[in-house]
């Protein structure tokens, strides 16, 4: 594998044949790996084509003299005394380097190379990496940048050959003269601008181990140390020339240079047979050979005997033999022979040590085998082989253990019987897509793996012969269209696949070690019986006809029976204690629409999903470890009992017909019953329950609420919104909830709140929205008697509360933080100031001494905690005045949106941040002294004047957002000047600003 990684870089693009190949010859990569890295015996084929226009030489190069390779002086002699033209290093690399990108390249070169440097130890040589954009010597080294596809490896190798082979590290300029730092006064001091680093031989060897052959060649021209490292034998034991063009002479020289080559890949190489024949004498250590594409005749296979260590031969997509004579493969040491997609009339294999033979997709009419040690034989998709030929070939291998003859349509049961008699050790058989096989009366006692996919002759009678293979571990019967039933008792069967069996109706499988079974797309399967001690997961999805399931699987953990529409209520017995699955943890019965009554009693079940079981009307679960249950879409559930379960939360909001509920869950903390509109009887025993939402349970009666509060004393949040049947008795039972802090009684018919005041003194949040039968006297205890002293949030939206009660609540309940008066039609004004503008109409002697009752006394309070005041949609409110003496120092948000009759707003609130007066179409007076106000909404305030607005915001120095959209009387406002006056203003919304 490591060799494969190193050789990846040398794989080029394979060309076609004939005229197409000739037409693409100029753009194909021609890898000349004889290498100018110190090898004197390499040969470069002559090229008589002009150089590209980007090159600087014009001379036509004659035949290269191998004896002259290695130095520029010898190169000059080889050219008949003619000087090498002006050849820059960028030209030497065949146009790879682009001068226009020099400013963004990293230049790596050798600094101060002289005669003393030649004597240095290789480990002490230092690379000088110049900075980006630095201009070094003309030929100081190699620039890393992209290759140009217009130049072949032929030109690259010529450039590399200009580096000397005599051990000198001196570099040469365009005139073939040595470049020295002393002779280049324009060069910068390398010590000042360079980064020096040392690479030891071991480290360099490790780095080069990741390079392919082509990259090794390029790295080898950098310096002597790199050259020495790149030609190490470790990197050239595996030669991969797949789809690469290489000349005969260079290939021979490479094989001569590296006689220890153990792996050779010539797949897709033109004239690969000739290359092997010429270099076979140097491949004495070759162990693995890969050939492909082309003609491989008798001489090639005869020459393989010259490689005594050859153990693996692969031939892919080639023509074998001469076309009229058989191709004979004979080798005494060959262990593996793979022939893929080849063409031959006859093939004869005579290899005494051969163990693996593959003739997959090879078009041959006859095959002769003399391989006494053969263990694996592959005839897959050999369509031309006759039944008799396959029989003779297989029976000639007595030690055969694995046979693949899939897609050989002519194979018959007679062949299988003969193979079974002649190959007693056969353990793996693939006879898929063989329509003439029925497997009847076939006896293969040692069979371990059997594949009979898409065999039309396989029927239920075939199971008798399969059952004879007692050692069978894997069985695949997919797409056997005539198979109607499977009944097997195999003690070693581990894996089984039954997919797309149109007539398959019954499965009876017994195997103690079964660990995986796949049953899919068997539309008529109605009965399944499985016995196994190791099966942990069973998936039988979309078996529409499955009605009977029997399981004896003591280690089964997960079962998925989704969309099994025919399952009956009896399935519950299978998954209850004593039903054969004692360790079951997850059960999915989604969309099993035939289930009407589900009763499960399982001590191991943790997750249960019954989503989409629309016919289920009754659910009884006794699963003490059940933690997750999914009842989405169970629209017809009427009776549910969870006694006991280990659930921590339960949501039954999707059961609109549920009328009776019984829950015993010691660990449950959250329960949602909202939407159970007909729920009338609820027995809930959840001692750890902290939150109960029973919204819209209109028929929930007082008795159920009383039992619930007695059994769940830790409830903190209780939501009884729209519970119209709850009365005084039910509310009185809330005294058992000592930790109750939130109570929601919105949309109820409450008249008297005294049970709440008496039972829940610790209440912090009370929601009475839309309680239309409440009167002012119902709230007297809040602001007259100091009831609910811890109350911080009160919601009286859309209630008939009167003006006096509103004033009393704001005056006396100083601990309120959030108050909602949305939609209160009797709310007329909010005036908190000393004067006669408003008073609390109540007897003075009825208030506690510490509770003021008149507005003029509000200023005497130490301060109110009110932060949010919502009065949205109060149609009759006309005036809101909050002066400084009102002590609303914490008020940060006021919402008066949709108060259409509001005419005057006067606020002095030091901490107010947001004020919403949108759609207050009658607003005329606006006075604001709110230094921290950041958001002012005045949308559709049609009566507000421009002067009034400027005066109002003059004291709002922190204003950031101003919305005056659809305010017709503020058209002339100069927003530019406004931004200069208020630098904090970031956003203005207006009809005049697009």
Work out the mean pLDDT of the chain and round it to a whole number. Answer: 80
Do 774 and 750 contact (CB within 8 A), yes or no? yes
**Helix (H), strand (E) at residue 107:** strand 107-109
- Rounded Cα distance, 562 and 609, in Å: 9
Residue 29 pLDDT > 90: no
Q: What is the pLDDT of residue 113?
A: 34
Q: What is the pLDDT of residue 40?
A: 37
**Helix (H), strand (E) at residue 392:** helix 387-395
Residue 858 pLDDT > 80: no
Do 907 and 923 contact (CB within 8 A), yes or no? no
Mean pLDDT of 590-609: 95
Report phi then psi at 196, rounded to 5: -95, 140
Do 576 and 598 contact (CB within 8 A), yes or no? no
Residue 15 pLDDT grade (very low, low, confident, very high; cuts 50, 70, 90): very low
Nearest to 172 by CA among 84, 95, 67, 44: 84
Mean pLDDT of 960-972: 87
CA separation, residue 921 to residues 294, 783, 965 (Å): 91, 33, 12
As its CATH architecture, domain 828-832+864-993 has Alpha-Beta Horseshoe (3.80)
Mean pLDDT of 775-783: 86
Map residue 895 onto helix, strand or coil. Answer: strand
Residue 91 pLDDT grade (very low, low, confident, very high; cuts 50, 70, 90): very low
Residue 863 pLDDT grade (very low, low, confident, very high; cuts 50, 70, 90): low
Mean pLDDT of 337-350: 94
- Model confidence pLDDT, tens digit, residues 527-569: 999 999 999 999 999 999 999 999 999 999 999 999 999 999 9
Mean pLDDT of 266-270: 92
Q: What is the pLDDT of residue 976?
A: 74
Mean pLDDT of 825-840: 65
Q: Give the CA angle between residues 897, 898, 903 to the nearest 5°.
A: 90
- How remote is the C-alpha of 104 from its chain's centroid? 37
- Model confidence pLDDT, tens digit, residues 104-121: 333 333 333 333 344 444
Residue 366 pLDDT > 80: yes
Residue 226, number of CB atoms within 10 A of its CB: 22
Q: What is the pLDDT of residue 448?
A: 97
- Model confidence pLDDT, tens digit, residues 707-746: 999 999 999 999 999 999 998 999 999 999 999 999 999 9
- Rounded Cα distance, 11 and 33, in Å: 12
Residue 325 pLDDT grade (very low, low, confident, very high; cuts 50, 70, 90): confident
Residue 849 pLDDT grade (very low, low, confident, very high; cuts 50, 70, 90): very low
Q: What is the pLDDT of residue 989?
A: 87
> Crossing angle, helix 413-422 and helix 387-395, to 10 degrees?
10
Residue 60, number of CB atoms within 10 A of its CB: 11
Q: What is the pLDDT of residue 718?
A: 96
- Model confidence pLDDT, tens digit, residues 428-448: 999 999 999 999 989 999 999
What's this model's pTM, rounded to 2 decimal places?
0.69
Please say whether the dihedral angle defined by the alpha carbons of residues 545, 549, 553 and 558, taken in this order, is positive or negative: positive
Mean pLDDT of 778-804: 91
Residue 836 pLDDT grade (very low, low, confident, very high; cuts 50, 70, 90): very low
Concatenated DSSP letters for 540-592?
-TT-TT--EEEEEETT--EEE-TT-TT--TTHHHHHSTTSS-TT--EEE-TT-
- Rounded Cα distance, 838 and 855, in Å: 7
Residue 969 pLDDT grade (very low, low, confident, very high; cuts 50, 70, 90): confident
Q: What is the pLDDT of residue 675?
A: 81
Residue 52 pLDDT > 50: no
- Rounded Cα distance, 309 and 287, in Å: 5
Nearest to 830 by CA among 772, 909, 757, 751: 909
- Identify the residue with better confidence: 41 or 950: 950
Environment class of 91 (CB within 10 Å of its CB; exposed 0-12, middle 13-18, buried 19+): buried
Residues 6+ apart with CB under 8 A from 55: 91, 95
- Rounded Cα distance, 143 and 105, in Å: 7
Residue 913 pLDDT grade (very low, low, confident, very high; cuts 50, 70, 90): very high
Map residue 736 onto helix, strand or coil. Answer: helix
Q: What is the pLDDT of residue 326?
A: 84
Q: What is the pLDDT of residue 978?
A: 76
Mean pLDDT of 779-792: 90
Do 785 and 809 contact (CB within 8 A), yes or no? no
Environment class of 383 (CB within 10 Å of its CB; exposed 0-12, middle 13-18, buried 19+): exposed
**Boundaries of CATH 3.80.10 in the chain?**
828-832+864-993
- Model confidence pLDDT, tens digit, residues 600-658: 999 999 999 999 999 999 999 999 999 999 999 898 999 999 999 999 999 887 788 99
Residue 148 pLDDT > 70: no
- Model confidence pLDDT, tens digit, residues 490-525: 999 999 999 999 999 999 999 999 999 999 999 999
- Model confidence pLDDT, tens digit, residues 164-206: 333 333 434 433 344 444 334 444 443 444 444 456 888 888 8
Share of the chain above pLDDT 70, in %: 76
> Crossing angle, helix 272-279 and helix 248-257, to 10 degrees?
40
Residue 864 pLDDT grade (very low, low, confident, very high; cuts 50, 70, 90): confident
Residue 665 pLDDT grade (very low, low, confident, very high; cuts 50, 70, 90): very high
Query: What is the token pair recorded at 635?
Result: 């629209």
Residue 62, number of CB atoms within 10 A of its CB: 12
Residue 993 pLDDT > 80: no
Residue 56 pLDDT > 90: no
Map residue 308 onto helix, strand or coil. Answer: coil
Q: What is the pLDDT of residue 163?
A: 34
Q: What is the pLDDT of residue 721?
A: 94
- Identify the residue with better confidence: 331 or 83: 331
Longest dimension (CA), the chain: 131
Nearest to 241 by CA among 12, 576, 459: 12
Q: What is the pLDDT of residue 833?
A: 58
- Identify the residue with better confidence: 883 or 128: 883
Do 306 and 280 contact (CB within 8 A), yes or no? yes
Nearest to 130 by CA among 115, 148, 150, 144: 144
- Rounded Cα distance, 806 and 894, in Å: 16
Share of the chain above pLDDT 90, in %: 60
Nearest to 377 by CA among 365, 391, 387, 364: 391
Q: What is the pLDDT of residue 198?
A: 54
Q: What is the pLDDT of residue 596?
A: 95
- Rounded Cα distance, 890 and 909, in Å: 8
Q: What is the pLDDT of residue 961?
A: 93
Residue 598 pLDDT > 90: yes
Residue 7 pLDDT > 50: no
Do 799 and 774 contact (CB within 8 A), yes or no? yes
Helix then strand then coil, in percent of the chain rounded to 5, is 20, 20, 55
């Amino acid at each position: 594998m490591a060799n494969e990684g190193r050789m990846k870089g040398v794989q080029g693009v394979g060309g076609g044949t004939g005229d197409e190949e000739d037409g693409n010859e100029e753009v194909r990569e021609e890898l000349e790996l004889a290498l100018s890295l110190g090898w004197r015996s390499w040969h470069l084929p002559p090229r008589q084509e002009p150089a590209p226009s980007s090159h600087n030489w014009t001379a036509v190069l004659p035949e290269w003299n191998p004896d002259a390779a290695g130095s520029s002086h010898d190169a000059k002699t080889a050219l008949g005394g003619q000087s090498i033209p002006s050849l820059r290093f960028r030209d030497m690399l065949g146009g790879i380097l682009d001068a226009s990108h020099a400013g963004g390249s990293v230049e790596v070169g050798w600094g101060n190379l002289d005669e003393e440097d030649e004597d240095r130890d290789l480990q002490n040589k230092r690379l000088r990496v110049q900075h980006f954009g630095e201009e070094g010597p003309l030929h100081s080294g190699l620039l890393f940048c992209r290759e140009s596809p217009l130049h072949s490896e032929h030109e690259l190798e010529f450039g590399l050959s200009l580096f000397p082979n005599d051990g000198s590290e001196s570099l040469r300029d365009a005139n073939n003269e040595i470049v020295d730092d002393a002779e280049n006064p324009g060069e910068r001091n390398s010590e000042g601008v360079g980064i020096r680093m040392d690479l030891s031989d071991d480290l360099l060897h490790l780095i080069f181990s990741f390079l392919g052959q082509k990259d090794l060649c390029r790295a080898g021209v950098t310096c002597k140390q790199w050259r020495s490292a790149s030609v190490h034998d470790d990197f050239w034991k595996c030669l991969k020339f797949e789809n690469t063009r290489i000349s005969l002479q260079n290939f021979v020289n490479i094989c001569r240079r590296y006689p220890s080559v153990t792996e050779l890949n010539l797949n897709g190489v033109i004239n690969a047979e000739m290359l092997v024949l010429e270099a076979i004498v140097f491949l004495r250590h070759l162990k693995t050979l890969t050939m492909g594409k082309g003609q491989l005749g008798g001489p090639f296979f005869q020459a393989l005997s010259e490689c005594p260590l050859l153990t693996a031969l692969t031939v892919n997509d080639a023509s074998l033999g001469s076309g009229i004579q058989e191709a004979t493969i004979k080798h005494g040491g060959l262990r593996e022979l793979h022939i893929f997609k080849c063409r031959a009339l006859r093939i004869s294999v005579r290899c005494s040590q051969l163990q693996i033979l593959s003739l997959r997709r090879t078009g041959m009419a006859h095959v002769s085998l003399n391989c006494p040690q053969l263990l694996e034989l592959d005839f897959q998709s050999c369509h031309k082989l006759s039944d008799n030929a396959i029989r003779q070939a297989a029976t000639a291998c007595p030690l055969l253990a694995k046979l693949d003859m899939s897609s050989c349509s002519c194979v018959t049961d007679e062949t299988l019987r003969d193979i079974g008699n002649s190959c007693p050790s056969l353990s793996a058989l693939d006879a898929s897509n063989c329509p003439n096989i029925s497997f009847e009366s076939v006896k293969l006692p040692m069979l371990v793996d059997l594949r009979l996919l898409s065999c039309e002759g396989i029927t239920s009678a075939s199971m008798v012969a399969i059952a004879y293979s007692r050692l069978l571990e894997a069985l695949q019967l997919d797409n056997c269209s005539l198979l109607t039933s499977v009944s097997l008792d195999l003690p070693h069967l581990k894996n089984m696949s039954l997919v797309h069996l149109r007539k398959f109706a019954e499965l009876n499988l017994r195997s103690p070690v079964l660990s995986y079974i796949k049953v899919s797309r068997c539309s008529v399967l109605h009965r399944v019986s499985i016995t196994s001690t190791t099966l942990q997961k069973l998936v039988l999805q979309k078996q529409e006809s499955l009605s009977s399931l029997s399981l004896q699987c003591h280690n089964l953990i997960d079962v998925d029976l989704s969309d099994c529409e025919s399952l009956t209520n009896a399935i519950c017995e299978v998954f209850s204690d004593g039903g054969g699955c004692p360790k079951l943890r997850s059960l999915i019965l989604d969309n099993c629409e035939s289930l009407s009554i589900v009763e499960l009693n399982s001590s191991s079940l943790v997750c249960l999903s019954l989503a989409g079981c629309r016919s289920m009307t009754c659910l009884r679960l006794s699963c003490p470890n059940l933690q997750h249950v999914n009842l989405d879409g169970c629209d017809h559930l009427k009776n549910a009992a969870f006694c006991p379960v280990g659930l921590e939360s339960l949501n039954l909001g999707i059961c609109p017909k549920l009328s009776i509920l019984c829950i015993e869950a010691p660990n449950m903390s959250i329960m949602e019953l909202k939407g159970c509109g007909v729920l009338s009887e609820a027995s809930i025993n959840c001692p750890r329950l902290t939150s109960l939402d029973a919204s819209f349970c209109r028929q929930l009666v007082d008795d159920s609420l009383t039992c619930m509060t007695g059994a769940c004393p830790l409830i903190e949040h209780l939501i009884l919104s729209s519970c119209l049947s709850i009365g005084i008795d039910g509310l009185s039972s809330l005294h058992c909830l000592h930790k109750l802090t939130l109570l929601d009684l919105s949309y109820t018919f409450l008249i008297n709140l005294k049970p709440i005041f008496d039972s829940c003194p610790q209440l912090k949040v009370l929601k009475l929205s839309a309680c239309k039968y409440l009167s002012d006297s119902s709230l007297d205890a809040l602001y007259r008697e100091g009831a609910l002293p811890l109350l911080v949030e009160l919601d009286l939206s859309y209630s008939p509360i009167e003006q006096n009660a509103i004033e009393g609540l704001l005056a006396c309940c100083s601990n309120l933080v959030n108050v909602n008066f949305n939609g209160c039609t009797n709310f007329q004004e909010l005036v908190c100031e000393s004067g006669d503008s408003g008073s609390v109409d109540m007897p003075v002697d009825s208030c506690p001494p510490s509770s003021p009752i008149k507005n003029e006394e509000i200023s005497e309070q130490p301060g109110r905690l009110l932060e949010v005041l919502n009065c949205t949609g109060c149609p009759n409110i006309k005036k809101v005045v909050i002066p400084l003496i009102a002590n609303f120092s914490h008020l940060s948000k006021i919402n008066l949106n949709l108060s259409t009759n509001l005419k005057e707003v006067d606020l002095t609130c030091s901490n107010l941040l947001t004020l919403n007066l949108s759609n207050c179409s009658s607003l005329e007076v606006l006075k604001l002294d709110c230094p921290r106000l950041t958001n002012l909404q005045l949308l559709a305030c049609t009566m507000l004047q421009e002067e009034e607005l400027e005066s109002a915001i003059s004291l709002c120095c922190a204003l950031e957002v101003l919305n005056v959209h659809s305010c017709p009387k503020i058209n002339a406002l100069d927003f530019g000047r406004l931004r200069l006056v208020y630098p904090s203003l970031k956003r203005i919304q207006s009809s005049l600003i697009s």
